[in-house]
Structure 1
Amino acid sequence: MENSNSEPRRRASAAVCDYDHTSAGFKCPELLEQHLVSDLDLKKKNRFKRLTRNRVIPITLTLVIFALTASVISLWTTFNRQVDGSGKDNLFQSTRVTSGETVGIRLHPEDHVYRKPQTRNYNWVVTSGVRSPDGVQKEVYLINGDFPGPTIEARTGDTITVSVTNALDDEGVSIHWHGLHMRGTNHMDGAVGFTQSLIPVGEKFIYEFQVKNQDGTFWYHAHSHVQRGDGLYGGLVVHKPREDTAGMNIRDYESEVLLLVGDWFHRSAPTMLDWYTSVKGFGNEPVPDSLLINGLGKFDCSMAVAARPLNCSEEVQIRPIFHDSSSKRLRLVNVGSIAGLSIGIKNAKLDPFQVDGGFDIAGVPSDSVGVVYPGERVDLVIQWDENSKTEGSSLTISLDQENFRYPNPALAPVQSFPALPSPESIKAALNLPSSVVASTTFNLQTAHGASSFLYPTIPYSADETLILYAKTLKLSKAANHPMGTINRTSWSPQEPPLIEIPRSSWDDNQLVPFISLPENPTNRVSKDGVWVDIIINNLDDGSHPFHLHGHDFFVLDSQRSESGWGSYRLATFPPPSPSVEPPLVLDRGPVLRKDTVMVPRYGYVILRFRADNPGIWMFHCHLLVHLGSGMAMGIEVGN
């Protein structure tokens, strides 16, 4: 949930269009017309300090340096970690760190893949403070003083408990665990308005859930207001145990690195949402000012717009992404608010092999991989070119500009960063390209699932079908303020959350079809749940990345129209007889499996998922301003 009950200006009521909440039936055929460090992290930091202090230098100098260092660290820590009653840092601290460190977050699968399942305990305190991630000062959200938040690493079967204390001055908060099914723990999903109330200021909430039968690249982020856009997010990686190798898409690599990449605004996320939902915004998505990799970036201060003065510094130390040119598994997450992105590395091939929550794809080594939309993830292996010098290698991120409706001269949509710790690599990164030059590009939007003997069988037809229409509307009865809608319903969070009250008490902003799981399954209904098709029609001229909580799905079809609506026609589904033209051919194996999917402009996607996880699960566009303006709904699964 990325909007709040306390802000009525964002709550434009929309007609439900004769939608029957009880039967989940549609009676409107004209619909087409209309986001304290873990024990492991603490040990790593202490180990780094010990290694630093154990360097061999003369004993007298050692004592002097140690005393001075201790004093400086003590003073620095006192100022930097002190939190006043407002929950904000008292001293500005740049997120820049010392040379020798890399931007990439090194993961430690060796600590997890051979051990037995255990309980992983984390204590987090959420505050805010001024940081300068790309050279421009901005107030961001912090978890235990860090932006982004600490990375969680676990293995399949682990139980994760996260104690979240809200030390903000006047905002509630919640955390969603993006991609994890929360099987049996719907109330831990973090979706404010659906499964949880905001964690009040000064109070604590303990998330506890088991990671059942899942592994892969995930992440967590605020699901309250638009806090995700101001940095309340972090990485979450679930490693697959080595004894459980059946069906694994095997790749050779020596280490794993996590990159949280996304667009970045210099103004606050609430300010951007205010502009987007105002009449003067005309429903045009705000264009970002910069991009960050693991909370770090670089901004050309000379490009700042005169009308929006910035506290900007270009005295930024450029750091490499990786330590060396050994083979690596790169886990990439788009944590951005608006833009999709593509990635390329000079003098290397990228071999994508998994998307979202560990779902195998049939990848091909390519010069670049994209587009990865907000909320989506891709795992790939970096294959360095042995015939080329890697010292001058650079990593390039290109933001997709489909949803950019107006120019932002401050933004460099294509940016390069030094891939390796060498002068040549840094020099190469300083030469910013105007476009990505790649002879081969792997298109994630046309990817297919990889063959596997464990691949589930997808039925020829579904038990239930939901037909949805996503559209940004500007209605006179809402004073022409843009609002995101699904089937002409603009969502806003309800308090208490839906999970705590009967359906009869839900208001008209809640679009939540009910999927029944009979207690006595028939031949048509599997004991493992019912199969449901979701057909999402995009009536806008820009893409919508949709994310389903609590489940994953198979992408059976995806269509895009360059001009005019290319919406799905019910008359052609299920697949027609051979005499009907044109026939609808659905991809049923090995088909792409995901939990977040891009719905093309003026087009549609057909998704099929097995509803076997009882609860109320949010389904929404992952573009921050779209969700913040109401483009969300829920799906209730139960009996």
Structure 2
Amino acid sequence: MVFSRRALLGAFSLVQLVLAGSPYSNGTYGSNRVTVQSRLNQLALSPDFKITDKPTTRTYDWTISKQIGAADGFYREMLVVNGQYPGPTIEANEGDTIIVNVKNKIPRVGTSVHWHGIFQEGTQWMDGPAGVTQCPIPSGGSFTYKFKIEKQYGTYWWHAHAGSQLSDGVHGALIVHSVNDPLKRGEHYDYDQIIIQSDWYHNTSEQIVRALDTPQGYQGSQAAPPPVTALFNGYGTFNCTRFGTPETCFTREPYELQVYANKRYRMRLINTASHAMIFHSVDEHTLDVIEADDTPVSSPGLKDLHRVGSHNGQRYSYILKTDKGKPGDAYWMRANISTSCLAYITDEFNQVYKGIIRYVDEDKNYKATTHLPTTKDWKDELDNTCRDLDSADLVPIVRDDPPAVVHQVGTFGTRVGTLSTTQGNVTRFYFNNITFNHLWYQPVLYDVVDGRGVNNTNVASLAYNEPTGADIIINNLDSNPKIDHPYHLHGMEFWIVGEGVGNITEHDYRQLKLNTTNPIRRDTHLIEGGHWSVIRIKADNPGVWFLHCHIDWHLAHGFAAVVVVQPDVVKKFQIPKESRELCRQIPDGLNASSTALGRRAASTPRLYNLPRSLGQ
């Protein structure tokens, strides 16, 4: 097979078409009724939420379970929180304490939850990735996450961080307000709306990863598989006429967001996809980007954009000015999956998912029209790449320069390769020639706390001993074939102080003129294949912090390392007994060295057809 460029308004402020609590369908999946529901009102942030500097405690009760849903109209097993997709929204203020009581009702396997972008200062063991900072919550078990949100605000999200359960539906938004946020409702925008962009598969993550772990691969390839479609807030479209039957799927109405004319909507884009790089646009409406991950930004290069591209884990907020239409007008909102990021596509692949932006009258007695839009996409050619917005254009509004001098530097080189198994060669990804070995019941953090240190046979690592500025050089060595990767660092944000083509040594690095004047701060950064980046951190949050590619299928193939900050301090951590207890609840047949989350079910991926190459 020849592969392409990469181998491998809500209840208060706006009206949303589908009623909160409505099930995906009345259809059936075998003998099981479709039970996954939508709660779209949770994605329109209320103006009644009080933004204050007086902290409070917010408590949530979650149950993660396996249910039948149909995000794009195709019935499949999903993993969901409280029976809904997307999952519950957490909305808080800077300084609040968050308590989430999690019950795991997934049959057979463990789970965990990560709070993407939250620093976890003082609660490093609550960060969430199984095998790194905790053991999985066992099937039938429960665990309470408790952490305080300090010194940060903006758009975040949460998701499962055990196996690839994120792709099965365990994710949602986490929004932190602050009196210190320069972006203010009423001054910069009128309404606040979450748009969770995702990609969607018709097989479970367990089926996909199990197939990828064989020489035959999934869909005949060991490359990261393409999704079937993109989703807006849990809604997508599948061609049931061509690929389905009444027993397997139904044609779903498109996602619809109803807006008032001549208003400013803050659209918080959260890319929760497992693989897809998504270009977001609204026909005939330009977009002004105001936030990158959790950093408020502004520059001429962020104004009047036709499209905003985002990669897995990234967030962008933009202002949608509803000054193009009148009540009754409708426009397509598009999620265009970049095929340049995919190794191959299948016949069922839907590159562009279209939702609806519909203008309505503020008169509550007004009945909205229901016709589909007839608008066209922007005429300029889509830059079909894996690149999101240029870092140079992302100028923080609140200046926060990185440390001008660093005394610690380390280098990671990442690449794709193969691993020889008894069945044959399988794909793996490597940090410094080490592929991450998921020992779910032997967290790396615990190894360091207990004095064993990092086992560099299982995971590559860099250690930063002093609470000063430090640099991490990342060389993405995947240049031929070119594979671009979104790198996410837990536990902190970083400054992007340098980028370039090729790869560099520490000697080369010392000759560079790095940008230390208000560079962009992020927690998820795309590095193109055959390129390097230098990210700068303050090594002042002791812990064992996961650094990994946020393409789920690459992570499943070992694309991860850890950054150990102040290991001597970490050794003095007192990990709560409740966290330790999880590591004593190992499923029957497994042990502390097991690389499985639980007993696997006997199931086979459903494949419509073999992939077709995208060509060079």
- Candidates 183, 204, 207, aligned match of 1:271: 207
Moved more, 142-151 or 249-258: 249-258
Q: When the two structures are aligned, how many residues end up with a matched partner?
A: 525
Q: Which segments of 5 or more consecutive residues in structure 1 lack a partner in the other structure?
A: 1-40, 53-72, 81-87, 518-528, 561-565, 576-583
Shift of 1:536: 1.1
Please report how far the alpha carbon of residue 247 of structure 1 lies from its aligned counterpart in structure 2 after TM superposition: 9.0
CA contact (8 A) 1:277 1:483 kept: no
Distance 1:386 1:301, change over 3 A: closer
What per-residue deviation string (whole Å, max 9, x for no partner) do you get for residues 330-354 of structure 1?
A: 1110000111111111232211011
Counterpart residue type for residue 331 of structure 1: R
1:495-521 deviation digits (Å, cap 9, x = unpaired): 23122233536541022222113xxxx
Aligned with 2:554: secondary structure? helix
* Equivalent residue number for residue 32 of structure 1: none
Deviation at 1:238, TM superposition (A): 0.4
- Output the amino acid matched with 2:191: S
Which position in structure 2 is the counterpart of 1:133? 71
Q: Does 1:341 align with 2:286?
A: no
The equivalent of 1:311 in structure 2 is: 248
Aligned to 1:287: 226
SS in 2 for 1:111: coil
For residue 572 of structure 1, give the secondary structure of its aligned residue in structure 2.
Answer: helix
Match status 1:485 vs 2:430: yes
| Equivalent of residue 413 in structure 1, options 348, 351, 362 | 351
Partner residue of 2:543 out of 608, 611, 615: 615
Letter in 1 for 2:444: L
- Is contact 1:181-1:551 (8 Å) kept? yes
Aligned to 2:489: 548
Distance in 2 of aligned mates of 1:400 and 1:421: 29
What CA RMSD, in Å, does the superposition of the two structures yield over aligned residues?
3.3
**Are the aligned partners of 2:64 and 2:103 in contact in 1 as well (CA < 8 Å)?**
yes
Q: Which amino acid aligns with 1:298?
A: T
Output one character per residue of 1:288-321: Cα deviation in whole Å (capped at 9) or x when no partner: 1111111111112234399xx981211x233412
Q: Which residue in the other structure is 1:498 paired with?
A: 444
Shift in Å, 1:95: 4.2
Cα gap change, 1:451/1:417 in structure 2, threshold over 3 Å: closer, same or farther? closer
Choose the corresponding residue for 2:33, options 83, 91, 114.
91
**Are the aligned partners of 1:176 and 1:189 in contact in 2 as well (CA < 8 Å)?**
yes
- 1:616 deviates by 0.8
Change (3 A) 1:175 1:147: same
SS in 2 for 1:272: helix
Q: C-alpha separation between the residues in 1 aligned to 2:186 and 2:380?
A: 26
Mapped to 2, the partners of 1:261 and 1:103 lie a distance apart of 16
> What is residue 456 of structure 1 aligned with on the other side?
400
> Residue 216 of structure 1 contacts residue 358 of structure 1 at CA under 8 Å; is this kept in 2?
yes
With over 3 angstroms needed to count, the CA separation of the structure-2 counterparts of 1:451 and 1:317, relative to structure 1, is closer
Moved over 4 A (4+): 94-97, 245-251, 386-390, 421-426, 438-443
SS in 1 for 2:294: coil
SS of the residue corresponding to residue 229 of structure 1 reads helix
User: Matched residues in 1 for 2:540 and 2:316: separation?
Assistant: 25
Q: Is the 8 A contact 2:38 2:84 kept in 1?
A: no
Structure 2 distance, partners of 1:466, 1:369, is: 36
| Comparing 281-290 and 223-232, the one that deviates more | 281-290
Of 236, 246, 263 in structure 2, the residue corresponding to residue 297 of structure 1 is 236
Q: In the alignment, which residue of structure 2 is the partner of 1:62?
A: none
Q: Which has the higher strand share?
A: 2
Aligned mate of 2:530, from 602, 609, 625: 602
Q: What are the Cα deviations for residues 531-569 of structure 1, in whole angstroms up to 9, with x where unaligned?
A: 111111112211110100001101122235xxxxx2224
CA distance in 1, matches of 2:436, 2:371: 47
Change (3 A) 1:302 1:632: same
Taking the aligned partners of 1:103 and 1:121, their CA distance within structure 2 comes to 19
Query: Does 2:462 correspond to 1:509?
Result: no
User: In the alignment, is residue 532 of structure 1 matched against residue 470 of structure 2?
Assistant: yes
Closer/same/farther in 2, CA of residues 247 and 256 from structure 1, 3 Å limit = closer
Please say if 1:320 is aligned against 2:256: yes
* SS of equivalent residue, structure 2 residue 59: strand
C-alpha displacement of 1:417 = 1.3
The sequence identity of aligned pairs, in percent, is 26
The 3 A distance-change label for structure 1 pair 542 and 555 is same
Match of 2:586 in 1: none
Check 1:319–1:229 CA distance in 2 against 1; reply closer, same or farther (3 A cut). Answer: closer
Question: Contact conserved, 1:554 with 1:593, CA < 8 A, in 2?
Answer: yes
**Greater per-residue helix proportion:** 1
Q: CA deviation at 1:402?
A: 2.3
Conserved in 2, the CA contact under 8 Å of 1:142 and 1:231? yes
CA distance in 1, matches of 2:380, 2:187: 23
1:428 aligns with 2:373: yes
Asked if 1:238 corresponds to 2:176, the answer is yes
SS in 2 for 1:500: helix
2:65 touches 2:80 (CA, 8 Å); kept in 1?
yes
Unmatched runs of 5 consecutive residues or more in structure 2: 1-9, 361-367, 569-616
Q: How far apart are the structure 2 equivalents of 1:264 and 1:296?
A: 10
SS at match of 1:626: helix
Q: What amino acid maps onto 2:345 in structure 1?
A: P
User: 1:624 pairs with 537, 552, 562, which one?
Assistant: 552
Structure with bigger gyration radius: 1
1:633 equivalent in alignment to 2:557: no
Give the TM-score, by structure 1 length.
0.76
- Equivalent in 292, 295, 299 of residue 358 of structure 1: 295
Length-normalised TM-score, structure 2: 0.78
